[in-house]
């Protein structure tokens, strides 16, 4: 399941971020933890935010920010306790607090700096958009998408949405010819189209190579290396034991002979 965000259709009502807080039981009273360049950023009680931009040609644009749910999530690959997993059925990158050890590798790994931390909890968890995985698995749209009245958010099959996005871009010359999220870090479930260049709207320019690719070549060999090393050590131990045993037997025999 994927979502297409048409930035030209957003009027900034923030119904999506309210729906997110309602559905996920987040704290409305929590003060914003991160404000960067005048923009409200995500935090542990804001899994999605709307950021306001005044563009170079004096237009007002609103950009929804949340986890993009990468096809090859770096956060999930960085997590050694499997607390972040990509759900095969829905495509959502889901966080399981019961498995989390709190190392925060995911926060470092994410190319978009999405995962946030509950800094003022006794037993803190990581916080990020779950793409309403429970709703997706029932066939419902994410809460934010269902609350959008202007059609700025549409959910559906990823391939179909990409096709639709390109159709929209082709039919209206105002759009920038770029579907953000189609190829970025290997592609994501969330896709954006816009009439203002993405760099102006605070979108990070990232490589098309999945983050996991950089370490895949050698990290993928780690299990084999570890198993091989264990086998090698086991063999060495066995050999040493045998040598010692043989030596002991020989010593015993020699002793017997002397006796």
Partner 1 sequence: MTNKISRRKFLKVVAGSGVVGFGVMAAGCKGDPSGAQGWIPDQYQGKGDFPVNLKGRVAISQDNPSIERDDEKCILCGQCVEACKNVMGVYGNYPLPLKNEVACVGCGQCTIACPSGAITEKRNIQDVLAAIDDDSKHVVVQTAPATKVSLGEEFGMEPGASVGKKMVGALKEAGFDAVFDTCFSADLTIMEEASEFVHRLTKAKDEIPHLTSCCPGWVKYCEYFYPELMHNLSTCKSPQNMMGATIKSFYAEKKGIKPENIINVSIMPCTAKKFEVGREELQVDDQRDMDYVLTTRELAVLLKHKGIDLNTVAESEYDSVLGESTGAGKIFGATGGVTEAAVRTAYYFATGSNPPADLLSWQPVRGMKAVKEANATIPGVGTVNIAVCHGLENARQLLNGIKEHGSKWQFIEFMACPGGCIGGGGQPKSSVADIKQKRIAAIYKEDNSSAKRCSHDNTEIQSIYKEFYGKPLSEKAEKYLHTSFVNRHDRLF
Examine residue 67 and tell whether it contacts partner 1 (CB under 8 A).
no
Shorter beta-carbon distance to partner 1: residue 82 or 216 = 82
Integer Cα distance of 98 and 192 in angstroms: 32
Examine residue 125 and tell whether it contacts partner 1 (CB under 8 A).
yes
Number of residues in the chain: 259
- Size of the residue set binding partner 1 (CB under 8 A): 58
Q: Which stretch binds partner 1 (CB under 8 A): 70-78, 95-103, 208-216, 235-243?
A: 95-103
Which two tokens mark 29? 């009273």
Do 70 and 188 form a contact (C-beta atoms < 8 A)?
Answer: yes
Q: State the binding string over 209-238 for partner 1 (x if CB under 8 A, else -).
A: ------------------------------
Q: Which stretch binds partner 1 (CB under 8 A): 102-110, 148-156, 207-215, 225-233?
A: 148-156
Helix (H) or strand (E) holding 3: strand 2-6
Integer Cα distance of 76 and 21 in angstroms: 24
SS3 of residue 43 by DSSP: strand
CB of 150 to partner 1, least distance (A): 7
Q: Which stretch binds partner 1 (CB under 8 A): 70-78, 96-104, 159-167, 215-223?
A: 96-104
Strands 116-117 and 2-6: unpaired
- Residue indicated by tokens 């895949």: 216
Q: Which stretch binds partner 1 (CB under 8 A): 63-71, 138-146, 207-215, 217-225?
A: 138-146
Q: How many CB atoms lie within 10 A of CB 51?
A: 18
Strands 84-86 and 93-95: antiparallel
Examine residue 85 and tell whether it contacts partner 1 (CB under 8 A).
yes
What residues line the site for partner 1 (CB under 8 A)?
A: 7-9, 11-15, 17-19, 21-26, 28-29, 47, 54, 58-62, 82, 85, 94-99, 125-127, 130, 132-135, 139-143, 145-150, 153-155, 174, 195
């Amino acid at each position: 399941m994927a979502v297409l965000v048409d930035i030209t259709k957003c009027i900034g009502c923030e119904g999506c971020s309210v729906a997110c807080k309602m559905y996920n039981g987040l704290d409305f009273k929590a003060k914003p933890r991160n404000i960067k360049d005048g923009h409200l950023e995500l935090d542990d009680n804001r899994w999605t935010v709307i950021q306001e931009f005044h563009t170079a040609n004096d237009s007002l644009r609103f950009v929804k920010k949340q986890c993009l749910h990468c096809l090859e999530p770096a956060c999930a690959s960085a997590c050694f306790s499997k607390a972040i997993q990509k759900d095969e059925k829905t495509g959502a990158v889901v966080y399981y607090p019961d498995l989390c050890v709190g190392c925060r590798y995911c926060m470092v790994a994410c190319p978009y700096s999405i995962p946030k931390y509950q800094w003022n909890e006794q037993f803190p968890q990581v916080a990020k958009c779950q793409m309403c995985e429970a709703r997706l698995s029932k066939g419902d749209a994410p809460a934010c998408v269902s609350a959008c009245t202007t059609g700025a958010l549409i959910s559906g099959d990823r391939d179909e949405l990409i096709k639709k996005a390109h159709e929209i871009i082709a039919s209206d010359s105002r759009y920038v010819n770029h579907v953000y999220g189609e190829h970025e870090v290997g592609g994501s479930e969330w896709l954006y189209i816009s009439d203002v260049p993405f760099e102006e709207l605070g979108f990070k320019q990232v490589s098309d190579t999945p983050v996991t690719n950089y370490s895949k070549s050698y990290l993928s060999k780690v299990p084999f290396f570890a198993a091989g090393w264990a086998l090698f050590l086991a063999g060495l131990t066995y050999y040493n034991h045998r040598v010692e045993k043989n030596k002991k037997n020989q010593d015993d025999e020699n002793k017997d002979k002397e006796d």
